[in-house]
Amino acid sequence: MAMQLEDIPTPAFIVDRHVFKQNCKVARAAAFKNGIPRLRPHVKTHKTIEGCIIQSGIDSAGEESLADVIGFVVSTLPELSMVVKLGCEYKRKPFTDVIFGIPICKSKLPSIQSMLEELTSATDGEGCIHVLVDNPQQVVFLEEFVEQHASDENPQGWSVFLKLDTGYHRAGTTCDEVGVKLACQVINSAHLVLKGLYTHCGHSYNIQDSKAMKVTTNQDHSMILGFLNSLRSHLNFSQTKFDVTSLIISVGSTPSMFSHDNALSIPNIELHPGNYVFYDRQQLWTGACSSEESIGGFVLCRIIGHYEDEHRNAIMVDAGATALTKESTPQGNMCSVLGRPDLECYRMSQEITMIRCKSEDGVKCFPFQEFPLGSTVLLIPNHSCLAAACFDKYHVVDGGITPVSTKSEVVETWSPVKKW
């Protein structure tokens, strides 16, 4: 007999596979419609083999009006190892073209090099792992690593994406002469190949207005074009031969993915969203996720407390910060109850969350009879990437025509890769 969600131990992370697949198809369709023919999904949200295969689109090969999935982005060594194993198995894109999506540090190079050798050996030299650079010292230690480990029989080099800051002000070199100088340092290196530019539209997470979102994505593209023009002028002045139009331009984020287009005709542009597979409460606020029907990741929990006194008038559930994290969102509070906009998750501790009615005067009586002790509810995390990372197993349902509920049957389990 199939197990229902209400039968499994809590807290637990729940994936709606049907919604996951739909979200992947919608992202590819939107990119294609907006003139961006290539998608490079990020795997950091789900961290699973099953999720990668769905994101890859290999089951929808031949469908028209969808962007091609040409590669992946990862953030950790276990994520990279997972995609590399898929690359060795499938021996084809998108599994054989991977960007290690945080600025490279020296300590990770031996592991990445080992995985690169494994991938290229399995794919007759076709596989590639790209590293991100945003500091001149990174170029130096990449070159030193090659010089220390390369030989005539085993020549080595690194494929590099230059990380640009186009407004988020987190990682990335500036789009001025400093960035141009760094790009030229890579171009002029005997051991490195400048493969592309990478930007992250992370400031879009704080934007809810569609017009403001469009302004942000247009600014992102304009700064990239300005950088390319400055780089081209510098290369021409120094008589350095390099085809700037060959660079891959990787842009985007989940909240901005529907606003990126290619009106400025940027060559070789691709989109790299990640959170879109699950969405979450933050994306309901930005509008990237249009409704709860597109939420693909939840935290299942049990009701463990009824407090009917006038001071609390609330229930307690057995999922707290260690299952959801305390990541904030513009809406406030810690998470929300699926299908119950009348309730708010107003207080969280390490292992518990308190839920009460939304009421301006604070006197509305909580419907305790609808939430018996021991029954289960589904919570929508503020940030699904962080909530999912709290679990070593996902219980998967297949919503389809019937929306996910605590009565949904578990069809399989996924095991995300862990650690760094």
Check whether 179 has a pLDDT greater than 70.
yes
Instruction: Look at residue 346 and give its three-state secondary structure.
Output: strand
- Give 389's pLDDT tier (boundaries 50, 70, 90): very high
Backbone torsions φ then ψ of 184, nearest 5 degrees: -70, -35
Pairing of strands 376-381, 297-307: antiparallel
| Structure confidence by residue, pLDDT tens digits, 94-104 | 999 999 999 99
Identify the bridge partners of residue 414 per DSSP, sorted by sequence position: 394
Q: Cα 404–407–408 angle (5° rounding)?
A: 45
pLDDT value for 263 = 85
Positive or negative CA dihedral for 173, 178, 180, 181? negative
Instruction: Look at residue 274 and give its three-state secondary structure.
Output: coil
| Structure confidence by residue, pLDDT tens digits, 104-144 | 999 999 999 999 999 999 999 899 999 999 999 999 999 99
Tokens for 254, please give them: 């989940």
- Give 312's pLDDT tier (boundaries 50, 70, 90): very high
Positive or negative CA dihedral for 84, 133, 73, 45? positive
Residue 167: DSSP 8-state? S
CA–CA separation, 379 and 119 (whole Å): 39
| Structure confidence by residue, pLDDT tens digits, 291-306 | 999 999 999 999 999 9
CA–CA separation, 167 and 261 (whole Å): 18
Task: List CB contacts of 210: < 8 A, sequence separation 6 or more.
Answer: 259, 287
Task: Give the pLDDT mean for 228-241.
Answer: 96
DSSP 359-399: -SSS-PPP-GGGS-TT-EEEEEES-HHHHHTT-S-EEEE--
Q: How do the residues of the chain divide into helix, strand and coil, expressed in percent and rounded to 5?
A: 35, 20, 45
- Give 75's pLDDT tier (boundaries 50, 70, 90): very high
Tokens for 321, please give them: 């910060």
Place of tokens 């186009």: 166
With contact defined as beta carbons under 8 Å apart, do 404 and 378 qualify? yes
CA–CA separation, 278 and 378 (whole Å): 14
pLDDT value for 7 = 96
Q: Please report, rounded to a whole number, the percentage of residues in the chain having pLDDT higher than 90.
A: 90
Does residue 403 or residue 248 have the better pLDDT? 248
With contact defined as beta carbons under 8 Å apart, do 261 and 35 qualify? yes
Q: How far is CA 235 from the centre of its chain?
A: 34
Other CB atoms within 10 A of residue 350 CB:
9
Torsion of the alpha carbons at 107, 83, 103 and 121, rounded to the nearest 10:
60
Torsion of the alpha carbons at 281, 286, 290 and 294, rounded to the nearest 10:
-40
Check whether 148 has a pLDDT greater than 80.
yes
Instruction: Look at residue 158 and give its three-state secondary structure.
Output: strand
What is the pTM assigned to this prediction? 0.95
pLDDT value for 321 = 98
Across the chain, mean pLDDT equals 95
Check whether 155 has a pLDDT greater than 70.
no
